[in-house]
Amino acid sequence: MVGHTATSRDNKDSLYYYPFNQTLFYNTVEGVGLNLRVRYSTTSDDFKTLSISPAVRYGFANKLFSANIHSSYIYDPFNAGQFFFNFGNDVLDLNNVGTRSLFFNTLSTLLSTNNYVKYYRSEFGEGGYQRELSNGILWTSYLSYARRTQLYNISYNHIFKAKGREFTSNNPLAPEGTPADDRSFLFPQSKALTFSTSVKFTFDQHYITRPTGKVYLPSAYPTLTVNYRKAIPNVFGSDADYDFASLDISKDKIRVGLMGYSSFKITGGTFFTKKALYFMDYYHFLGNQVLLSILLMWVVSTFCHFTPLVPIALF
């Protein structure tokens, strides 16, 4: 459940294997699937670090194969200086915040007939840059290009099914009661060239300097992040055309007595122009269904009005 890291004797090279619960999954779009990922990291004598994360994904129901590589290069560990390069294809959450893990969605789909995550196909390439402009001010920028394709449900298996509950369409805008095998239109195959940039302000930021770089200490104050995103039309066939800006105020690890920690995030923003944007380009928010509530709901439905079903193959 926590993965495994193999490290060289000099601690300069490491290989991380992602855990099983992030490898085997089930959803109504791909059926049973495998998501195989590793992360290789190497650190030079001057503490510059290169990380490469290749991944392959395969859905046995839709027979869709995906492969991608995510990489980063920390060239200045004392000023959070990094380059990012990612390319390949993948099956992604239509909610671009990535609200639920593969493991969570597998449980909710198989145990309570709740296929919360809605998916689409993306073929992408992107590059980014990050650096601390001064202490407490972090600048990040990305340029990405993607071709997006709508996907549909094709697998409808479950272990238990609550009475009166059915799988929902992979189109999140489909009306309530739409059959799970719905093929309604959500967006055309589209291309988007997008520039994104943000500046994060951490007030009264303290840190410890070590030979390997900076170690940042928690600030007593919330952080402020200014974000801007621009879809550039008519370049490499890009269809999207919009301008979006937002402001975030957030704070992590707020001590709540013996209960542990809490956090918050407040966001406000707007699309200044929206000549052409698609569902995944909208601003999406985090959901509030948590694993505990899903398991509790399943227990209640199981013991109160459980509908037994004959076990069937999962793909």
Q: Answer with the residue of higher pLDDT: 291 or 44.
A: 44
**Does 292 score more than 50 pLDDT?**
no
pLDDT at site 21 = 87
pLDDT at site 314 = 35
Distance between CA atoms of residues 200 and 217, nearest Å:
15
Q: Answer with the residue of higher pLDDT: 308 or 174.
A: 174
pLDDT at site 159 = 87
pLDDT at site 1 = 66
Distance between CA atoms of residues 286 and 100, nearest Å:
9
Q: From the centroid of its chain, how far is CA 295? A: 22
* Per-residue pLDDT tens digits for 98-151: 768 889 899 999 998 899 999 999 999 999 999 999 999 999 999 999 999 999
Closest CA to 228 of 275, 284, 270: 270
Q: From the centroid of its chain, how far is CA 186? A: 20
pLDDT at site 163 = 73
pLDDT at site 301 = 46
Q: What's the domain range around 89?
A: 4-221+289-307
DSSP alpha helices (H): ranges in the chain? 102-112, 291-305
Asked whether residue 131 is domain-assigned, the answer is: yes
| Helices and strands of the chain, counted as H and E runs | 2, 17
Instruction: Give Cβ neighbours of residue 108 (< 8 Å, ≥ 6 apart).
Output: 100, 114, 115, 116, 289, 294
Asked whether residue 75 is domain-assigned, the answer is: yes
* Per-residue pLDDT tens digits for 74-106: 999 999 999 999 999 999 999 887 768 889 899
pLDDT at site 262 = 87
pLDDT band at 287 (very low <50, low <70, confident <90, very high): low
Q: Tell me the β-bridge partners of 58.
A: 34, 65
Contact between 144 and 201 under an 8 Å Cβ cutoff? The reply is no
pLDDT at site 176 = 87
Asked whether residue 249 is domain-assigned, the answer is: no
Contact between 28 and 167 under an 8 Å Cβ cutoff? The reply is yes
Instruction: Compute the chain's Rg from CA coordinates.
Output: 22
Domain count, the chain: 1
